[in-house]
Amino acid sequence: MEPGKRLPGKIAIVTGGASGIGAETARTFALHGASVVLCDMQDDLGAGVAQEIVDAGGAAEYRTLDVTKEDQWIALVADVERKYGKIDILGNIAGISGRPANMTVQASGVMTGTGLAEQTLENWNRIMEVNSTGVFLGTKSVIPAMQRARGGSIINISSICGIVGSFANAAYHASKGAVRIFSKSAALQYAKDQIRVNSVHPGFVDTPMARPGLLGNESGKARMDATPLGRFGKPSDIALGCLYLASDDAAWVTGSELVIDGGMTAN
């Protein structure tokens, strides 16, 4: 193994790779020797991240992928396995908050506009489709390739919202709770194939998706106050956790929940 490299020779697919945690995870995997196929629907941003990795001496390419479309997953996995000979790692990182445009923040820090009575069926279905069904389809699609490779690591991004509740956006919580339990079930089903499946549970991380609820408002102050380590997370904080789960250092880790939240859920 090349000194300092934790994923030499590994082939990784990373969804949500155009920005935030997904982009940083793609960069981190490539830095550690993996060939990364990063996927998203933000084509300009995604292609830019892939080019940045290549310019830094890594191996990466960008593919357009709608994680809710099974036919796109089937085509992607077949093409990646055909081109690279195997698939070792899947990072299911794509997700949406589903935060409605009419969301406001009260002085107490409680968000309005995201209560159950205000949740539309359309919004609920879209959040579940991307955050939960997308994880299911990605996991389902790579299992045969990982069986042929005699093992692999699947990393599913959940959230602290998949462990604890809050005052708003029950659909997001439901979708992330589904990812948590789905990951445990998949881990048990495919342990015999040496396919490890784990969930990662970020706390309040400064990403483009989360930033409106973190910066310059009472909601952000309340979330900062609830985080014992006294800062919001960075995408690299989560990416390094994904690196551990992707690597052989985690060879005996499956069905677990890696919480990376600055101590928030320890309260």
Write out the catalytic residue numbers: 172
Contacts of 185 (CB under 8 A, 6+ apart): none
Backbone angles phi, psi at 49, to 5 degrees: -65, -45
Dist. CA 76–CA 92, nearest whole Å: 14
Closest CA to 232 of 257, 255, 209: 209
Backbone angles phi, psi at 166, to 5 degrees: -150, -175
Q: Going along the chain, which residue ranges are E strands?
A: 11-15, 35-40, 59-64, 89-92, 104-105, 111-112, 152-157, 195-202, 257-260
Amino acid at 143: I
Q: Within 10 A of 74 (CB to CB), how many other CB atoms are there?
A: 13
Q: Which residues pair with 37 in a beta bridge?
A: 13, 61
